[in-house]
Amino acid sequence: MPQPIDRHLVDQLVVEHLPAALRVAQRWVGDADTAEDVMQEALCRVLRNWKSYRGEAAFSTWMMQIVVNVARDHYRQLRNSCELPLGLTDNAAEPIEHSSAAELGEQVRIAIDGLPNRQREVAMLKFGEGLETREIAEILNISDANVHACVHLIRKHIAKCLGHDYVEQD
Amino acid sequence: MHPDNIESKVNQQTDRIIRQALELETDDLRVERLQEYWQRQSHHIDRKRRNLLAASLIAASLVAVSMFFAQHELNDDKTPSVDDKLASAMNDSPAIESDSRPRKHEDYSPRLNGRQPTEYERILFAARTPHRLTAQRFNPATVEGLALSLTESTSSKVGEVLAAAGCSRRDAVDQLLELSRTSSQHELAFAALEKLVGVSGLGPLAQNSRDPEVRGALVSRLLEINTEVSIREFLSLVSDKLLREEALALIEQDTNPPIGQLFALLDDQEKKVRLAAAVTLGYLNGPDVTRQLIARVNEQPSKSTEAWLALLACRGEMADEFLAYAGRRPHLLGYYNNARVLWAQMTP
């Protein structure tokens, strides 16, 4: 039977994975200050639940699951508290006209914001943090096939926005 | 070229563009802060756990001790108790005539059911006694003298001046605030107050004052001083939900509001200060403020969260037009949405 983790090891692992977790939170909520708040809440949850970690998955995956859950709660709360303008989805379908790399980056970020939630989450973990399919599936609690399908849809959507001719891969 | 190679190339290119767009620098300062937070929280939780453990041990030992004594009493039931022994001794002794003379009350300290209060009760009584019982009554002439002495003394001598006047710092503050109501002594009273509590003490004084007139005078004084410290104190009042309206109404009446200071504080390290500065600027509104805010937002949309909030707080036509424009521009829309979300959280 898996043994509970040692407390000092938890301290060490949390500090080690803090930068990546903060980046994920910041991509999720879009604002550095809010991301810090989200991280503080996530750290409190880690402190409350570290004894339940039995080492079945990597610690980084377990911690990232907590960060993602807190960020989701936060995002849901925001969506309930105010209605956002819907201009994004209209623009996202049209090819992006860009003049500089920075502007292109901004447009792609906006296009990603316009993706359905699940695809947006996969995009952030896959392309933002460069995580493996298995790890993304564990964090988001979905199947590997689901992750692959999301990646395919994200590429298709962004390629369309960029004006590339997207060709389906088997 | 083989179609598979073309597909793979397109995908690689798309992936690269997405990766670049989502690339994010790690903010070392924030990471450091979070590490500190983690350490603080873990120490706090450890301490709490230790305290809980200690409390449970104490409770358990108390239960054990009380059970031991209960057992002991049961065992002692067979032998005569101290009360029984005392009663039998009294029965044996001759009767004493009662004293018909009135009883002398030599000790006037409070009695509880005929017994002396314990040390704990004495402390409790002292703690519950309102401080104002000992405060000196307001005497304009004396207070004026105190104010004069305070303004002429150096900061290190303030204690000596108070000791010479025979009043505590708290009493002196109360009496100076009372003196500030007299228009002729207003300046003198505030100069003495600043010597006594410093400019940074005026904000907390306003926050704790129950008298709207005194609060108003303190806020006006903070705006009049117009230094970074005084504006920060003013913003601490804006951050206070209960005093916000009052503070904002006063700055709106100010003929020369500290616009420059407020814009500078939009970049402050403390989030609370930045937000209060944004709310104040939004409240001040006006074409100049709005124009400066729009320029700031256009220049650095990603680093102007507070300027966005200030624009949302503005009620002018110019601000409304700009926000409508931002809602149509993809490069501004993300930041505009973010600011709207934050604004919605701040104003439920």
* Cα–Cα distance for residue pair B258/B70, rounded to 1 Å: 73
Please give the pLDDT value at position B129: 59
Please give the pLDDT value at position A165: 54
- Per the model's pLDDT, the better-predicted residue between A82 and B20 turns out to be B20
One DSSP character per residue, B173-203 reads HHHHHHHTTSGGGHHHHHHHHHHHH-GGGHH
Residue with tokens 């059970």: B67
* DSSP-derived 3-state class of residue B254: coil
Q: Which of A26, A29, A28, A25 is nearest to A45 (CA)?
A: A25
Tens-place pLDDT, residues B177-190:
888 877 777 888 88
Local confidence band at B232 (pLDDT 50, 70, 90 cut-offs): very high
* Cα–Cα distance for residue pair B31/A22, rounded to 1 Å: 7
Q: Are B111 and B122 in contact (CB under 8 A)?
A: no
Residue B121 makes CB contacts below 8 A (sequence gap 6+) with B110, B112
DSSP state of A6: P
Please give the pLDDT value at position A143: 92
Do B20 and A101 lie within an 8 Å CB cutoff?
A: yes
CB atoms within 10 A of CB B116: 11
Please give the pLDDT value at position B340: 81
Q: Are B155 and B195 in contact (CB under 8 A)?
A: yes
pLDDT tops 80 at residue B15: yes
Q: Find the range with the poorest average confidence among A33-47, A83-97, A127-141, B249-263.
A: A83-97
Do A106 and B330 lie within an 8 Å CB cutoff?
A: yes
Kindly report the nearest CA distance between residue B288 and chain A, in angstroms: 28
Helix then strand then coil, in percent of chain B rounded to 5, is 75, 0, 25
Kindly report the nearest CA distance between residue A9 and chain B, in angstroms: 13
Chain A residue numbers touching B328 (CB-CB < 8 A): 87
Please give the pLDDT value at position B348: 56
Kindly report the nearest CA distance between residue A141 and chain B, in angstroms: 22
Asked whether the ipTM of the predicted complex exceeds the cut of 0.95, the reply is no
pLDDT tops 70 at residue B209: yes
Do A127 and B15 lie within an 8 Å CB cutoff?
A: yes
DSSP state of B115: B
- Per the model's pLDDT, the better-predicted residue between A67 and B177 turns out to be A67
Tens-place pLDDT, residues A75-123:
777 666 554 443 333 344 445 554 566 777 888 888 888 888 889 899 9
3-state secondary structure B13-40: HHHHHHHHHHCCCCCHHHHHHHHHHHHH
Do B24 and A26 lie within an 8 Å CB cutoff?
A: yes
Tens-place pLDDT, residues B98-121:
555 555 544 444 556 667 777 777
Please give the pLDDT value at position B176: 84
Q: Which of B341, B336, B340, B315 is nearest to B326 (CA)?
A: B336
- Per the model's pLDDT, the better-predicted residue between B123 and B68 turns out to be B68
Q: Mean of the pLDDT values across residues A22-37?
A: 86
Please give the pLDDT value at position A146: 92
* Cα–Cα distance for residue pair B277/B234, rounded to 1 Å: 10
- Per the model's pLDDT, the better-predicted residue between B68 and A23 turns out to be A23
Which of B31, B334, B343 comes nearest A18 by C-beta? B31
Please give the pLDDT value at position A169: 47
* Mean residue pLDDT across chain B: 78
